[in-house]
């Protein structure tokens, strides 16, 4: 199972162009969704105003080297290491989900466009595809059932869904149905069962990508920009956030 390409097996029933066209449509849906979200929430205007106010309040000017250093710190600490999370449980859950999603997404694109009609797909791609989906299920389920704020802090029922949960539910469903569909392919449970599971996989994946304006999907593009702006303001002295000493004084 871990060394077979589900999309090359699918080619026995559908042309490889079917899944290739589907991937292109999903990419277009994400781009359109993010642009719509930015326009609706005026995110670009917000960041522009924030930069202008920070520039006016800056106590020192930052050179190109300092800005480049801040950009690297943002990438390494805030993006790659999920530095925004203080608790190790939230951070580990986020990292498992995020890196699993990236692996799952990249390997899907590679197998669909590079090996959809090739039964001899390199095992590394298929193994990583399964690994990525499993990482999503591990990190995402941990977050969804135990670490969400309304579950961990407000003692709400884990299956009580809100609009903010669309992204994680769609991602979990896409990963789960991908693995179950592929297992059905390998077990040869019959064309009807396999096609039903494939339909559920497509439905959940489509739900994930076409609901960008209503889910937290777009936040993955905003958060790095917000983290970078926050570090710039702190370095230039323009930050309006309380300093650690001030926070300690407030707590006392």
pLDDT at 156: 67
The tokens of 129 are what?
Answer: 């595809």
* CA–CA dist 25, 209 (Å, integer): 9
Give the pLDDT of residue 72: 93
Listed residue (121, 244, 251, 228) closest to 182, CA to CA = 121
Report how far residue 226's alpha carbon sits from residue 190's, in angstroms, rounded to the nearest whole number. 49
Of the candidates 90, 223, 86, the residue with the CA atom closest to the CA atom of residue 148: 90
Q: What pLDDT, on the 0 to 100 scale, is given for residue 165?
A: 83
The tens place of each residue's pLDDT in the chain, 252 residues long, gives 677 899 998 888 889 999 999 999 999 999 999 888 877 777 667 677 777 787 777 788 888 898 899 999 998 998 888 888 888 898 999 999 999 999 999 999 999 999 988 778 999 999 999 999 999 999 999 999 888 766 555 556 666 777 778 899 999 999 999 999 999 988 876 688 999 999 999 999 999 999 988 887 777 777 888 888 888 888 888 766 555 444 444 344
Domains and CATH numbers, the chain: 6-236 (1.20.950)
Span 66-91, pLDDT tens digits: 889 999 999 899 888 888 888 889 89
Tokens 């304006």 locate to: 213
pLDDT value for 250:
38
Rounded Cα gap, residues 148 and 158, in angstroms: 8
SS3 percent helix, strand, coil of the chain, rounded to 5, is: 75, 0, 25
The 3-state secondary structure of 155-194, one letter per residue: CCCCCCCCHHHHHHHHHHHHHHHHHHHHHHHHHCCCHHHH
**Which value, in Å, is the radius of gyration of the alpha carbons in the chain?**
22
pLDDT number for residue 201 = 97
């Amino acid at each position: 199972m871990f060394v077979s390409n589900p999309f090359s097996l699918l080619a026995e029933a559908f042309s490889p162009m079917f899944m290739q066209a589907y991937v292109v449509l999903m990419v277009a849906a994400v781009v359109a969704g993010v642009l719509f979200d930015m326009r609706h929430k005026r995110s670009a205007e917000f960041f522009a105003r924030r930069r202008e106010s920070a520039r006016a309040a800056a106590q020192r000017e930052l050179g190109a080297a300092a800005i480049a250093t801040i950009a690297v710190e943002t990438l390494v600490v805030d993006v790659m290491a999920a530095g925004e999370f203080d608790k190790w449980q939230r951070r580990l859950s986020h990292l498992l989900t995020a890196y699993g999603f990236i692996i799952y997404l990249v390997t899907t694109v590679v197998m669909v466009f590079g090996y959809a009609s090739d039964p001899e797909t390199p095992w590394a791609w298929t193994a990583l595809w399964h690994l990525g989906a499993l990482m999503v299920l591990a990190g995402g389920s941990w977050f969804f059932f135990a670490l969400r704020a309304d579950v961990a802090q407000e003692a709400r029922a884990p299956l009580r869904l809100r609009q903010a949960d669309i992204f994680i539910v769609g991602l979990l469903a896409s990963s789960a149905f991908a693995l179950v569909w592929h297992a059905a392919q390998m077990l040869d449970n019959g064309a009807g069962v396999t096609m039903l599971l494939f339909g559920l996989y497509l439905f959940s994946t489509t739900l994930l990508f076409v609901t960008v304006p209503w889910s937290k999907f777009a936040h993955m593009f905003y958060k790095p920009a917000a983290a970078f702006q926050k570090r710039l303001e702190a370095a230039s002295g323009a930050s309006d956030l309380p300093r650690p000493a001030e926070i300690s004084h407030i707590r006392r």
